[in-house]
A = this chain, B = another copy of it.
């Protein structure tokens, strides 16, 4: 490692931020699908090839944070005592991370774009699937004493389904939130979503 870590990290971070800024401007102006990577690269003053050294795909510019957020949710979840039941623990962990995410206005723009762009929506769900694998182990431990979950496959599916449902609730809440221009609070929507699922 030739360069001091802090400096390097800072310039690398600056490049990420700059590319993201320029790209989001183009996305919001022309739409996501009609913006090509060549346009982003030109606007950011880098080569097309270099763009792919920062982001694996065009979608990652918009959704890159989701991967990091997944790890934050996991960490938050791990910090909650195992005595707290699964749904409540997941809600607490999700909200802890929700509090860290940027301002509502930017979030709303991203969310709106996401829910009206199929490829973005798909990629976001893929990222949420990755959350699943991060959160399931903890939830499985919380379900340990569940009488239903006797054999292996049942224990697996129980935790998998619970986490998947929680994420589905978050997704549904996000969709309604974006569709309604952010009018009801995301947490309120999530709570209502979970309530209806648990009958």
Show the binding face of A for B, using Cβ within 8 Å. 85-87, 118, 121-123, 125-126, 129, 143, 146, 148-149, 153-154, 156-162, 164-165, 167-169, 171-173, 175-176, 179-180, 183-184, 189, 192-199
Contact = CB atoms under 8 A, between A and B. Distances in A.
Given A164-B168, A169-B165, A192 B121 contact: no
A93 to B, nearest CB: 17
Nearest to A143: B196
B196 A199 contact: no
15 contacts: A122-B126, A125-B125, A148-B196, A153-B183, A157-B172, A157-B196, A158-B195, A158-B196, A160-B193, A161-B172, A161-B197, A164-B169, A164-B171, A197-B198, A198-B198
Contacts of A173: 157, 161
The 7 A-B residue pairs whose C-beta atoms are closest, nearest first, are A161-B193, A158-B196, A164-B168, A160-B172, A165-B165, A161-B172, A168-B168
Quick one: which of A85, A172, A180, A199 has the most chain B CB within 10 A? Answer: A172
